[in-house]
Amino acid sequence: MTRFRRFLVSDHLAGWTFILPSVVLVGLFGLVPIVWGLILSFQKAGLISPEREWVGFENYARILSDPKARQAAVNTISYTVLFVPISILLALFVAHALNRKIALIRFYRLAVFIPVVTSTIATGIMFLWLLDKNFGLANWLLDRIGVGPFGFFEDPHQAMGALVLMTVWGWLGFDTIIYLAALQGVPQELIEAAAIDGASRWSSFWRITWPMLGPATLLLVVWSTISALQLFDEVFFVTKGGPLGRTSVVVFYVYRLAFEQGLGGLSLAGYAAAIAYVLFLVILVLTLAQFWLGRRVIHYQS
Amino acid sequence: MRKRFFVLLAAFGLMTSACTGGGDDGNTPSESPSGPVTLTFWHGYSDAEADSLKALLDEWNAANPDIQVESLYVNNDKALQKLTVALQGGEPPDITYQYGSSLPQLAEAPGLVDLTDWVKEPDVNWEDFIAGARTAATFDGKVLGLPALIDDLAIVYNKTLFDDAGLDYPSDQWTWDDLRAAAKALTNTADKRFGFAYPMDASEDSVWHYDPLLWQLGGSILNEDESQAAFNSPEGVQALEVLTGMAVDDKSVYLDIQNSAYTEIFNSGRIGMLMTGPWDLSSFPDVDYGVEILPGFDGDHQTIAGPDMWCVFDNGGGRKEAALKFLTWLTAPDQIKKEALATGHLPIRLSVAQDTAFLDDFGATFPGIDVFAENLANVVQARPVLAAYPSISEAMGLAIVSAMLGESEPKAALDEAAAQSNDALALGAG
C-alpha cells in the first residue's frame, strides 16, 4: 500500500473531512482577517482609496497622544469594573434564590433567562422608553416617591450607569444559568455534615458552596471581562457613544474611526486596526493573568 | 456577547478586503452603447418618494429599451459605507445617491466620474441648478456629482399651542430674541411641554442647526483660506449663547439626545416650535402647523441647505454614457416637477423654484412647503467641503451639545473645538 492509500483508509482522512467546514470558515473569516488586520495596522490607509502607505509603528504611537482614544479606554475600563462584579454577584444571588424546590420554579428560571435570548435592539428600545428623561416609566414611578427626575442615557454623568444597568439585566440570565448548574453540583452531604457540626447557613455558604463554585466563577469572570471589553451593540444602538462621548467605548471608537470618519479622506482604517490590536493584546494578557490567578486560588473537585 | 466578537471579526474582515480590493476600476475605454445596457441605480427613497421614483423609472424604461435602469434601495445614512464595500469588491453601482458632505471622501474613490466637462453641455443646463447645490457638488474645482435633492431649515410651529398661549405666530421679521421669548412662554415643565427642540446627538445635525445663527451674525466656520477654525469668534460665541440661554437658563428646549424622538413629541403637541426641514412635515398629521423662515440677527435671515447628489461610476462598456443620458432626463424640469408634487421635495432647479404656477400647486399639495421653497433664496453660504470636515463637525457638535447641557461655557467649549479642528486641518494639509 502506498502512503496515500494508507492515508485514505486511516482515521486521519475522516477526521479532517469532519472538521474541514470549520477549518475553512475559521480560516477564511478568522485567521485571514486577523493577519490582514495586523498588516493594516502598520499602514496609513483608508477604506475607499486603494492607496496604502507603510508607516511602521506610527499608528500605535498615535494612540498615546489621542485624547479620544484615552477617553474610550477610560470608559471601557469603568464599564468593565462596574459590569463584571455587579453581574456576577447579582447572578450568584439570583441563582441561589432559584436553587430550591418551590412552585413555578421553572417559570422563574425561564423569566430570568428570557432577556439573554432577546435581541439587543429590542432591549435597547425598551430601555430607551423606560428610562426616557421626560416621558419614561422609570421617572414617573420615581416621581411618585418624590425622587428625580433622572436623565439616565441623556445625562453625561449617568449614561454609563444606565448602560451598566441595561446590560446587567440583559446578561444576568446567562450568568445565573452557569451558577445554577454549578450550585446543583455542590454535594449536599457536605452541607449536611456542616449543619450537623453546627455551622450557620451563612458560614456554610462561604466555606463550602462559594469555594465549590470557583471554576464557575473563573469562567464567568473571564467571559464577562472579555465581553465587557468588547462592548459594542448596546452602545452603537442606544447611546451612539454619547452624550459627550461618555459612553464611547473602544470597539465603538474603532468602528467610528474606520467606518464613519475614516472612509477615504482621513485614512484612519489603519489607525483603527492598530487600536483593535492593542485591545486584543490587552484582552489576551488579562485573560492569561486571570487563568494564572485562578489556578492558584481555585479549588477543583477531584 | 458572542455577537460582539463577530462584530470585531467583521470589522477586521472589511479592513482585510480593503487591502486586496480596489485594483480594477473598470477603466475600459469608453464606447457608445452597442447593445442594451442595464444600469445599477442606488437610491435611499422610501414610501411616497419610492413610489414617485418608481413611476419615473417605469416611464424611462418603457421609452428606452436600450438603457434599462434597475434600482436598489440603500439607506442614505449607510450609502457611503455600502459604496465602500462595493468598491472593495470592484463592482460599484453605475449611479448612487450620496450626501453632499461625503464628497471629499468620494473624490478618492477609483472610477468616480468627473462631471466637470459634461455639465457644460446645454442639455444639462448646469447654471439652472440652485447655486448652493452646485457648490456642494464641487470639490477642488471638479464637479463630482449632479444635484439630487436640496433641503433648507425653517421654523415649523404648532398653531394651537400659540393660540392657547395667546401669542402671535412667528413672522418673517422675527429676531432670535422673539423666538426665545415665545419658547419660554410656551414651556410648561409640569405638563412636559417645551417651546423649542434641538438635536443633541453631537452629529452634523447638531452642527448645521447652529450654522445659520453663526452666519447671520457675520461669523464663519473657517477663516478665508480654510486653514484655521473661525467659529470660536465673538460671533460664534454669541450664536451659541442664544441656544444655551434657552436650553440652560430658560429650560425651554427639548434636548433630543438620541435625535430620534422630536418628531413624535412635536406631533403629540408638546413642542411649540421646531427648526427643521421639509422632510419632517409628513410626520405631523396631528398638528395644525405653520411654517416661517428663520428668525434673524439685524435683519439677516439666511438659512442653510443640505444638498445631496447623484454620483456616477465608470463601469465601462458605454455604461457611463448611458448613465449620464439617464441622469440628464431624471433632473430635467419636467421630472423635477413631477417628483416634487408627489413627494414634497424642494425643486433643485431655479427655473422650477421660480415657476409661480408650480409653486401654487406645490403649496396646495403640501401646506407650508412653499415657504421652504422660497426660503432657498435665503441660502447664502455652504459648509466647507474638505477632507477634514467630518472631524471639524465632530468637534463642533461636541462643543454645542456640551454647552447646551450646561457642562461647559460656550466660549471655552468653542475654543477647545477650534483647537481640535485646527489639528485636523493641519493633518489634512500634511
pLDDT tens-digit series, residues A74-91? 999 999 999 999 999 999
**Rg (chain B; Cα; Å):** 23
Q: How many CB pairs under 8 A join A and B?
A: 157
- Position B428 scores a pLDDT of 63
Give one DSSP letter per residue of A85-134, joined into a string. HHHHHHHHHHHHHHSS--TTHHHHHHHHHHHHHS-HHHHHHHHHHHT-TT
CA dist., res. B86 & res. A267, Å (int) = 18
**A positions 173-202 inside 8 Å of B (CB):** 174
CA dist., res. A264 & res. A276, Å (int) = 19
Which of A231, A258, A265 is the closest to B11 by Cβ?
A258
Which of A50, A120, A269 is the closest to B15 by Cβ?
A269
Closest-CA residue of B relative to A230 is B4
- Contact check, Cβ <8 Å, B15/A37: yes
Closest-CA residue of A relative to B110 is A49
CA of B171, closest CA in chain A: separation in Å? 30
Whether A71 and chain B come into contact, CB under 8 Å, resolves to no
B137/B211 same-domain check: no
Q: A-chain residues within 8 Å CB-CB of B398?
A: 244-245
Establish if B4 belongs to a structural domain. no
Establish if B80 belongs to a structural domain. yes
Cβ neighbours of B33 (radius 10 Å): 15
- Contact check, Cβ <8 Å, B4/A266: no
Residue B406 sits in which domain range? 154-305+382-429
- Contact check, Cβ <8 Å, B15/A154: no
Q: B-chain residues within 8 Å CB-CB of A258?
A: 11, 14-15
Closest-CA residue of B relative to A270 is B15
Q: Are strands B146-149 and B253-256 parallel, antiparallel or unpaired?
A: unpaired
Q: B-chain residues within 8 Å CB-CB of A230?
A: 1, 4-5, 7-8
- Contact check, Cβ <8 Å, A244/B401: yes
List the B308-312 sheet strands across, edge first: B67-73, B37-43, B95-99, B308-312, B146-149
- Position B386 scores a pLDDT of 83
Closest-CA residue of B relative to A174 is B1
Query: What number is the ipTM of this complex?
Result: 0.76
How far are the Cα atoms of B2, B101, B149 from residue B129, in angstroms, in the given order? 50, 18, 11
- Position B424 scores a pLDDT of 85
B139/B236 same-domain check: no
Closest CA to A218 of A158, A292, A142: A292
Whether A27 and chain B come into contact, CB under 8 Å, resolves to no
CA of B291, closest CA in chain A: separation in Å? 26
DSSP bridge partners of B308? B99, B149
Establish if B7 belongs to a structural domain. no
B216/B183 same-domain check: yes
B44/B173 same-domain check: no
Query: Residues of chain B whose pLDDT is less than 50?
Result: 1-31, 33, 429-430
Interior/surface letters A263-279, b for 16+ CB within 10 angstroms, e for the rest: bbbbbbbbbbbbbbbbb
CATH level 3 topology of A63-297: MetI-like fold (1.10.3720)
Establish if B265 belongs to a structural domain. yes
Whether A284 and chain B come into contact, CB under 8 Å, resolves to no
- Contact check, Cβ <8 Å, B16/A272: no
**A positions 47-66 inside 8 Å of B (CB):** 47-52
CA of A116, closest CA in chain B: separation in Å? 9
Whether A251 and chain B come into contact, CB under 8 Å, resolves to yes
What is the 8-class DSSP label of residue B73?
Answer: E
- Position B310 scores a pLDDT of 95
Q: B-chain residues within 8 Å CB-CB of A153?
A: 257-258
Establish if B98 belongs to a structural domain. yes
Closest-CA residue of B relative to A168 is B1
Q: What is the pLDDT along chain A (302 residues), one digit of tens a residue?
A: 577 777 777 788 888 888 999 999 998 988 998 898 899 899 887 777 677 888 889 889 989 988 889 999 999 999 999 999 999 999 999 998 998 888 888 899 899 999 999 898 999 999 998 998 888 899 999 989 988 788 899 889 999 999 999 999 999 999 999 999 999 888 888 888 888 888 888 888 888 888 889 899 999 999 999 999 999 999 998 888 878 889 999 999 999 888 776 544 456 888 999 999 999 999 999 999 998 988 887 777 64
Provide the domain count of chain B: 2
B29/B131 same-domain check: yes
**A positions 223-242 inside 8 Å of B (CB):** 223, 227, 230-233, 238-240, 242
Torsion, Cα B135 B387 B72 B328, to 10 degrees, reads 20
B98/B207 same-domain check: no
Three-class DSSP category at B322: helix
Closest CA to A180 of A83, A119, A120, A108: A108
Establish if B389 belongs to a structural domain. yes
- Contact check, Cβ <8 Å, A269/B387: no
pTM of the model: 0.80
Residue ranges with strand state E in B225-288: 253-256, 273-276
Establish if B253 belongs to a structural domain. yes
B35/B52 same-domain check: yes
Establish if B337 belongs to a structural domain. yes
B301/B312 same-domain check: no
Whether A273 and chain B come into contact, CB under 8 Å, resolves to yes
B254/B351 same-domain check: no
Q: B-chain residues within 8 Å CB-CB of A91?
A: none
B289/B323 same-domain check: no
Closest CA to A266 of B89, B387, B84: B387
- Position A223 scores a pLDDT of 93
Q: B-chain residues within 8 Å CB-CB of A237?
A: none
B203/B73 same-domain check: no
- Contact check, Cβ <8 Å, B391/A266: yes
Closest-CA residue of B relative to A259 is B81
Closest-CA residue of A relative to B108 is A49
B300/B311 same-domain check: no
Cβ neighbours of B169 (radius 10 Å): 13
